Chains A and B, each alone.
Chain A
Amino acid sequence: MIKKIDISKALKLNGVVAVLTYNDIPGLNGFGIAIQDQPVLCYDKVRYIGDAVALVACETKELLDKAIDLIEVEYEPLPVVEDPLKALEKDSPKVHENGNIHLHTKIDKGDIEKGFKEADLIIENEYRTGRQEHAYLETESGFAFYDEDEDLLTIFCGGQYPFRDQIQIARVLAIDPRKIRIIDEPMGGGFGGKDEITTQIHLALLAYHTKRLVKMEIERDESIVFSWKKHPMILRYKTGVKKDGTLTSNEIYIYADTGAYASLGGPIVNLAVEHSCGPYRVPNTHIEGFCIYTNNGVSGAFRGFGVNQVTFAMESQMDEIAEKLNMDPVLLRRKNILKKGDETGIGSKIETSIGLKKILDEIEKHPLYKDREKNKIDSSEYKKYGVGIAISYQGTGLGVGLPDYGACWIEMRRDGGFNVYSGSVEIGQQMKTTLKLIALEALKISDEDKVFIITGDTSITPDCGTTTASGATYRSRRAIEIASKKMIDILKKEVNEIFNIPTDEIKIEDGIFKNLNDEKITTYEDLAEILYDKRRLPKTEGHFNFPTSKTKIPGAFGLPHYIFSFSGAIALVEVNILTGKTNLIKAVNLIDGGRVINKIGFEGQSEGGIVMGMGYALMEDVIIKNGEFLVKNFSTYLIPTSMDSPYQIETIPIESFEELGPYGSKGIGETTMVPIAPAITNAIFNATGKRIKQTPATPERVFFALHKLPEK
Chain B
Amino acid sequence: MREFEYYKVKNLKEAINLSKKFGKNKRFLAGGTDLIVRLKDNLIKEENIIDIKNIEELKGIKEVEDEIHIGSLVTFSEIIESDILKKYSPLIVEASKKVGSPQIRNKGTIGGNICNASPAGDSIPPLFCEDAKFFLESTNGSRIVNIEDFFKGPGKTILKEDEILVKIILKKWKENEFGFFNKLGQRNALTIAIASSCIKIKKSDGKIEDIKISLGSVSPTVIRAKKVENILRGLKEYKKDEIIKICDEVKEEIDPITDVRGSREYRIEVSKYLVFEALNNLLNIRG
Instruction: Report which A residues bind B (CB closer than 8 A).
Output: 382, 576, 578-581, 583, 619, 623, 630-631, 635-636, 638, 640-644, 698-700, 703-704, 709, 711-712
- Give chain B residues whose Cβ lies under 8 Å from the Cβ of A641: 101, 187-190
- Give chain A residues whose Cβ lies under 8 Å from the Cβ of B240: 712
Residue of B nearest to A583 (CB): B188
**Contact of B194 with A by CB under 8 A:** yes
Q: Which of B190, B240, B274, B277 has the most CB of A within 10 A?
A: B190
- Given the interface pairs A382-B280, A631-B260, A712-B287, the reply to whether A638 lies near B270 with Cβ below 8 Å is no
Taken together as a complex, chains A and B put the C-alpha atoms of A645 and B108 apart, in Å, by 25
Contact between chains at A703 and B270 (CB < 8 Å): yes
Contact between chains at A644 and B189 (CB < 8 Å): yes
Contact between chains at B270 and A580 (CB < 8 Å): yes
Instruction: Jot down 20 A-B pairs with beta carbons below 8 A, ordered by A.
Output: A578-B270, A579-B184, A579-B273, A619-B186, A619-B187, A630-B260, A635-B192, A636-B260, A638-B191, A641-B190, A643-B189, A643-B190, A644-B188, A699-B184, A699-B262, A703-B269, A704-B266, A711-B241, A712-B241, A712-B287
Contact between chains at B260 and A579 (CB < 8 Å): no
- Given the interface pairs A579-B270, A709-B244, A712-B241, the reply to whether A699 lies near B186 with Cβ below 8 Å is yes
Interface bin, chain B = 20 to 34
The 10 nearest A-B residue pairs measured at CB: A643-B189, A578-B273, A643-B188, A700-B266, A641-B189, A644-B188, A578-B277, A644-B187, A630-B260, A579-B184
Instruction: Give the dominant DSSP class at A's interface.
Output: loop
**Contact of B76 with A by CB under 8 A:** no
Residue of B nearest to A581 (CB): B184
Taken together as a complex, chains A and B put the C-alpha atoms of A704 and B189 apart, in Å, by 23
Contact mask B181-211 → A, CB, 8 Å, 1/0?
Answer: 0001011111110100000000000000000
Taken together as a complex, chains A and B put the C-alpha atoms of A698 and B277 apart, in Å, by 19
- Give chain B residues whose Cβ lies under 8 Å from the Cβ of A631: 260
Contact mask B158-193 → A, CB, 8 Å, 1/0?
Answer: 000000000000000000000000001011111110
**Contact of B230 with A by CB under 8 A:** no
Contact mask B244-284 → A, CB, 8 Å, 1/0?
Answer: 10000000000000001111001001100110110010000
- Give chain B residues whose Cβ lies under 8 Å from the Cβ of A382: 277, 280
Residue of A nearest to B189 (CB): A643
- Give chain B residues whose Cβ lies under 8 Å from the Cβ of A619: 186-187
Residue of B nearest to A634 (CB): B190
Q: Which among A623, A643, A703, A711 is the interface contact of B187 at CB below 8 angstroms?
A: A643
Instruction: Please give the distance in Å from B95's CB to the nearest CB on chain A.
Output: 16
Taken together as a complex, chains A and B put the C-alpha atoms of A641 and B190 apart, in Å, by 8
Not counting A579-B273, A638-B191, A709-B244, a sample of 18 additional A-B residue pairs whose C-beta atoms are within 8 angstroms of each other reads: A578-B277, A579-B270, A579-B274, A579-B277, A619-B186, A635-B192, A638-B187, A644-B189, A698-B186, A698-B262, A699-B186, A699-B270, A700-B266, A700-B270, A703-B266, A704-B266, A709-B273, A712-B241
- Give chain B residues whose Cβ lies under 8 Å from the Cβ of A578: 270, 273-274, 276-277
- Give chain A residues whose Cβ lies under 8 Å from the Cβ of B189: 641-644
Residue of A nearest to B244 (CB): A709
- Give chain B residues whose Cβ lies under 8 Å from the Cβ of A698: 186, 262
Taken together as a complex, chains A and B put the C-alpha atoms of A704 and B260 apart, in Å, by 16
Instruction: Please give the distance in Å from A710's CB to the nearest CB on chain B.
Output: 11
Instruction: Please give the distance in Å from B94's CB to the nearest CB on chain A.
Output: 16
Q: Which of B114-131 contact A (CB under 8 A)?
A: none
Q: Which of B189, B270, B280 has the most CB of A within 10 A?
A: B270
- Give chain B residues whose Cβ lies under 8 Å from the Cβ of A703: 266, 269-270
Instruction: Please give the distance in Å from B40's CB to the nearest CB on chain A.
Output: 10
- Give chain B residues whose Cβ lies under 8 Å from the Cβ of A640: 187
Residue of B nearest to A704 (CB): B266
Instruction: Please give the distance in Å from A507's CB to the nearest CB on chain B.
Output: 56
Taken together as a complex, chains A and B put the C-alpha atoms of A642 and B189 apart, in Å, by 8
Instruction: Please give the distance in Å from A582's CB to the nearest CB on chain B.
Output: 11
Residue of B nearest to A625 (CB): B260
Taken together as a complex, chains A and B put the C-alpha atoms of A636 and B189 apart, in Å, by 13
Taken together as a complex, chains A and B put the C-alpha atoms of A644 and B266 apart, in Å, by 22
- Give chain B residues whose Cβ lies under 8 Å from the Cβ of A630: 260
- Give chain B residues whose Cβ lies under 8 Å from the Cβ of A579: 184, 270, 273-274, 277
- Give chain A residues whose Cβ lies under 8 Å from the Cβ of B260: 623, 630-631, 636
Taken together as a complex, chains A and B put the C-alpha atoms of A144 and B263 apart, in Å, by 46
- Give chain B residues whose Cβ lies under 8 Å from the Cβ of A711: 241
Instruction: Please give the distance in Å from B275's CB to the nearest CB on chain A.
Output: 10
Instruction: Please give the distance in Å from A65's CB to the nearest CB on chain B.
Output: 8
- Give chain A residues whose Cβ lies under 8 Å from the Cβ of B261: 636
Instruction: Please give the distance in Å from B137's CB to the nearest CB on chain A.
Output: 32
- Give chain B residues whose Cβ lies under 8 Å from the Cβ of A704: 266
- Given the interface pairs A578-B273, A578-B276, the reply to whether A700 lies near B187 with Cβ below 8 Å is no
Instruction: Please give the distance in Å from B90's CB to the nearest CB on chain A.
Output: 21
Taken together as a complex, chains A and B put the C-alpha atoms of A170 and B118 apart, in Å, by 51
Taken together as a complex, chains A and B put the C-alpha atoms of A632 and B54 apart, in Å, by 35
- Given the interface pairs A382-B280, A579-B273, the reply to whether A638 lies near B266 with Cβ below 8 Å is no
Residue of B nearest to A640 (CB): B187
Instruction: Please give the distance in Å from A592's CB to the nearest CB on chain B.
Output: 31
Residue of A nearest to B266 (CB): A700
- Give chain B residues whose Cβ lies under 8 Å from the Cβ of A642: 189
Q: Which of B186, B188, B240 has the most CB of A within 10 A?
A: B186
- Give chain B residues whose Cβ lies under 8 Å from the Cβ of A636: 260-261
Taken together as a complex, chains A and B put the C-alpha atoms of A619 and B189 apart, in Å, by 13
- Give chain B residues whose Cβ lies under 8 Å from the Cβ of A712: 240-241, 287
Residue of B nearest to A701 (CB): B266
Residue of A nearest to B262 (CB): A700
Taken together as a complex, chains A and B put the C-alpha atoms of A640 and B187 apart, in Å, by 7
Contact mask B221-255 → A, CB, 8 Å, 1/0?
Answer: 00000000000000000001100100000000000
- Give chain B residues whose Cβ lies under 8 Å from the Cβ of A700: 194, 262-263, 266, 270
Residue of A nearest to B190 (CB): A641
Taken together as a complex, chains A and B put the C-alpha atoms of A704 and B265 apart, in Å, by 10
Taken together as a complex, chains A and B put the C-alpha atoms of A382 and B190 apart, in Å, by 24
Residue of A nearest to B37 (CB): A635
Residue of A nearest to B192 (CB): A635
Instruction: Please give the distance in Å from A218's CB to the nearest CB on chain B.
Output: 16
- Give chain A residues whose Cβ lies under 8 Å from the Cβ of B244: 709
Taken together as a complex, chains A and B put the C-alpha atoms of A301 and B191 apart, in Å, by 28
Residue of A nearest to B276 (CB): A578
Q: Which of B187, B192, B260 has the most CB of A within 10 A?
A: B187
Taken together as a complex, chains A and B put the C-alpha atoms of A703 and B270 apart, in Å, by 8
- Give chain A residues whose Cβ lies under 8 Å from the Cβ of B187: 619, 638, 640-641, 643-644
Taken together as a complex, chains A and B put the C-alpha atoms of A640 and B241 apart, in Å, by 35
Q: Which of A623, A644, A711 has the most CB of B within 10 A?
A: A644
Instruction: Please give the distance in Å from B213's CB to the nearest CB on chain A.
Output: 16
